[in-house]
A and B are shown apart, each in its own frame.
Chain A
């Protein structure tokens, strides 16, 4: 079953911003727009999507048309290696080639159905998973990437590295820097601060 995705957006996450909770805020918006969304978790060693989406313990089923993803809502399908692990303590201690094979299977063997947006959550860094997903999706055409960061200068450098990695991905209006955490602190502090000076 092929992924008939009209638009593919990739989320590129750079260190130290692999707090998947930050990216979930972005992902939860799209399904509300009544479009078919597929969320693919290619963080093979650290699959956080099942927990964040409230899908811990869900299993993946196989049928004649392939693996069925787990549906959060009718129009939001999710696939992660987390669904294939039997215990929260199971570690995936795999080298690059094996991780690449798993990613290929996710794209080829999962019965995604008709999809408007395929969103791919990646681990931190610029390595096997990132190279493979770009390579495997090159035929489908990747629309672009969203880079998520926090304000520290150290992370700006990571974003620059992310941008340099993305030179093979076409320029996209979807590339946005989403600054999180600082807003959370500001919101919290402005409601709890006893000082006049804003934090």
Chain B
């Protein structure tokens, strides 16, 4: 085993994959908000964005387009905060043109993900969150193959309430079972809409699909996060929603999910 490979992940206490069967469920949003919540809870967090064709986390964390530097141990991750409690590595940092599409076939994606997993000098981390694209294909297999040398604590599955979304998450559950990844729990995103004007929470997309799915498959239901325009706006502007709106019900929802996740990781 290459010693630098072992070193780069050796000080990472927990590795959590964030998966969804479906696109558009807000997986990157949930990954970002979970990372911020864990940081607010005093943890050192890293995010590895392996969504090569749609890397959105750099913008959500307002890190812009920094240069990625190398050190002896490998690539230095980009820090989203001056205290260096939230580290990020994304393909988005390596693209010259921000509007450029990454049009790669599977083998090339697999090779780059291999590098991402082994060659980023994360240092000490409490939790490394791995944001994946939707589906069960090259990227997911590449992440698991390259993390085989290091323990993967498990996966958080993100869904929205609709049956179409939960249908795809059932396939993702099968993927986890077949590849031996423990399912840490299911998050139902866009569960209800918090209107900033009338302050009512209305269920425009129905509700409860995620919780039903958890019961059906014997998984833990971590919680639901509403569709909140204030959260959406924060993400677009790269602001820390949790710092800006600590009184909101969305903040409570996300914090509870993060705490439940931490308890199961530390158990």
A residues bordering B, Cβ < 8 Å? Answer: 13-21, 44-46, 48, 51-52, 88-97, 99, 123-128, 130-131, 152-154, 157-158, 160-162, 164-165, 184-185, 188-189, 192-195, 197-199
Quick check: B25 and A124 within 8 Å, CB to CB?
Answer: no
Bound state CA distance, A102 and B125, in angstroms? 41
Contact check, B197 vs A88: say whether CB atoms are below 8 A apart. no
A16-B26, A51-B163, A91-B178 are known contacts. Are A125 and B60 too (CB-CB below 8 A)?
no
B202 on the interface (CB 8 Å rule)?
A: yes
Residue pair A16, B202 in contact (C-beta under 8 Å): no
B133 interface contact, C-beta 8 A = yes
C-alpha spacing A21/B168, complex, angstroms: 13
Cβ of B13 under 8 Å from chain A: no
Interface size class of B (residues with CB under 8 A): 35 or more
What are 20 residue pairs bridging A and B, where the CB atoms are less than 8 Å apart in the complex?
A: A13-B23, A14-B54, A15-B24, A17-B24, A19-B22, A19-B160, A45-B134, A45-B171, A89-B171, A90-B174, A93-B178, A97-B106, A99-B106, A125-B23, A126-B53, A127-B104, A158-B54, A161-B53, A192-B200, A199-B195
Whether B202 contacts A96 by the Cβ 8 Å rule is: no
Q: Closest chain A residue to B160 by CB distance?
A: A19
User: What secondary structure prevails in chain A residues at the interface with B?
Assistant: loop
Contact A165 B101 (CB under 8 A): yes
In the complex, which residues 99-155 of chain B have their Cβ closer than 8 Å to any Cβ of chain A? Answer: 99-107, 109-110, 133-138, 140-141
CB distance from A157 to the nearest CB of B (A): 7
Per-position binary interface string of chain B over residues 57-89, scored 1 when its CB falls under 8 Å from any chain A CB and 0 otherwise: 001100000000000000000000000000000
